[in-house]
């Protein structure tokens, strides 16, 4: 019988890699949240190769307030997605505990 930690660790590793991929996409001026969700759904390895291969967006002149709002929105969306993933994991672990 496998321990629960052995099963949960890959999920947290997957989420951590997805967050890192989202940060890479955001640093290149692309939609960091889109890269985060894509790597959660498909694979951090595949989306990571895409994120690293995409050239950075040319610099665009944006007012600092627009940059702050965009960063805040992406942060809130990423936090919401992470909370949902962790919440689903907790619910699944709770349901699995009762099934044993």
* Contact present, 39 and 17 (Cβ < 8 Å): yes
Query: Which of the pair, 37 or 84, is modelled with greater confidence?
Result: 37
**25 CB neighbour count, 10 Å cutoff:** 25
Tell me the residue ranges of DSSP E strands in the chain: none
Sequence-separated contacts (24+) of 91-96 with Cβ below 8 Å: 93/4, 93/8
**44 CB neighbour count, 10 Å cutoff:** 23
Per residue in 54-64, pLDDT (tens digit) is 887 776 545 66
Give yes or no for residue 38 having a pLDDT over 60. Answer: yes
Per residue in 5-33, pLDDT (tens digit) is 566 767 778 888 888 888 888 888 888 88
pLDDT band at 99 (very low <50, low <70, confident <90, very high): low
């Amino acid at each position: 019988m496998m321990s629960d930690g052995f099963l949960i660790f890959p999920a947290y590793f997957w989420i951590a890699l997805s967050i890192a991929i989202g940060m890479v996409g955001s640093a290149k001026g692309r939609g960091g949240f889109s890269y985060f969700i894509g790597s959660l759904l498909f694979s951090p390895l595949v989306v990571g190769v895409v994120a690293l291969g995409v050239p950075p967006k040319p610099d665009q002149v944006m007012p600092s307030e627009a940059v702050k709002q965009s960063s805040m929105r992406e942060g809130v969306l990423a936090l919401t997605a992470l909370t949902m993933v962790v919440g689903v994991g907790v619910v699944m672990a709770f349901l699995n505990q009762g099934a044993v």
